Amino acid sequence: MGRRPIVRAAGGVLWRSEAGRVEVALVHRPRYDDWSLPKGKRKAGEHLLLTAAREVTEETGYEPVLGAFIAQYSYVVGGDGKAATKTVKYWAMEAVAGRFAPSAEVDEMAWLSVPAALATVSRAVDRKVLEAFTELPPALATLILIRNGSVAVRSRTPRSDRSLDRRGQAQAEALVPVLGSFGVKRLASSAAPRCTQTLLPYAEAVRATVETESVLDLTSERRAEDVTDRVLDLCSDRMPIAVCLEGAVVTPVLHSLQMRCGARPRAARRFRRGGWTVLQISEGRLRSIERPWPAA
């Protein structure tokens, strides 16, 4: 017997603050006659966190802003020789706008307190996700660390002045939905043109300014620890922020951030150009880190 095929999916705990208390969204699926957290299958080539945002919007009608990664669960679906392993990743998401509209897939939606939602969901997996959601720290800083996109190499152009090539521009464009899903409002970059250009498409999309800082450049006089100090300063106000650094800087800074925040650094894994990682920091500790596959 061969291994079961894997179906990858994503969803989230969509929440809002109502009259001082947290409410979460559950959806009713007439096909199964159950109450569940919104989720769905990944489209080909789609990052799972974008799958989560898309599926939550499609099923609830609300626009979410992603927060901390909650958990991943796997279970067997199907039968009669067609069984598959379904793996679902969940994120916490705050509802910022929208309105529910019934569809053939989801005919009802309810905003419930967490205890009421725990009593209402039909599947044990959803109860586990809700319980994990309640354990998240209340104040999280979202930091998206990015390596600059691919650059045009010209022999007469100083390395520090090189700009993005076509591939790099495509990688920069691909960041727009990623940063948007986290509601990024602040953008900071090394002064190198290839770094500022990597953030430019998103900046233009949301009418934001890219803050350039020479302190984010690694020089013979400046260590990765100094750059890390500034990165932590930038995300101290808990406003979601994206920081773009050069390749020689981004990996040692990620390692330093993990050490500073009390996390055991993962095995070294080089950032490819256009690659990114999402860190959730609370009270000086790293609560979650997501390293999606790098840009193509």
In angstroms, rounded to a whole number, what is the distance separating the alpha carbons of residues 117 and 28? 12
CATH 3.40.50.1820 fits 141-290, yes or no: no
For CATH 3.90.79.10, list the domain ranges present in the chain. Answer: 6-134
Burial pattern 41-67, b for ≥16 Cβ within 10 A else e, equals ebeeeebbbbbbbbbbbebbbbbbbbb
CB 83 within 8 A of CB 66: no
pLDDT tens across 131-177, in order? Answer: 999 998 877 889 999 999 999 776 566 666 789 999 999 999 999 99
Q: Residue 295's pLDDT is what?
A: 41
Hey, what are 231's tokens? 């990165």
Hey, which CATH number is domain 6-134, 2.40.30.10, 3.40.50.12780, 3.90.79.10, 1.10.1740.10?
Answer: 3.90.79.10
In angstroms, rounded to a whole number, what is the distance separating the alpha carbons of residues 76 and 264? 32
pLDDT tens across 178-194, in order? Answer: 999 999 999 999 999 99
Burial pattern 80-118, b for ≥16 Cβ within 10 A else e, equals eeeeeebbbbbbbbbbeeeebeeeeebeebebbebeebe
In angstroms, rounded to a whole number, what is the distance separating the alpha carbons of residues 244 and 93? 24
Q: Residue 161's pLDDT is what?
A: 74
Q: State percent of the chain over pLDDT 90.
A: 60
Radius of gyration of the chain (CA): 21
With a threshold of 0.75, does the pTM exceed it?
yes
CB 145 within 8 A of CB 252: no
pLDDT tens across 73-125, in order? Answer: 988 887 666 788 899 999 999 999 999 999 999 999 999 999 999 999 999 99
pLDDT tens across 223-244, in order? Answer: 888 899 999 888 877 789 999 9
Closest among 289, 236, 247, 270 to 69, alpha carbons compared: 289
Instruction: Indicate whether 217 pLDDT > 60.
Output: yes
Instruction: Indicate whether 199 pLDDT > 80.
Output: yes
Query: Which H or E element spans position 231?
Result: helix 224-234
What value does the mean pLDDT of the chain take?
89
pLDDT tens across 261-294, in order? Answer: 877 766 556 788 999 999 998 887 888 888 764 4
pLDDT tens across 47-63, in order? Answer: 899 999 999 999 999 99
For CATH 3.40.50.1240, list the domain ranges present in the chain. Answer: 141-290
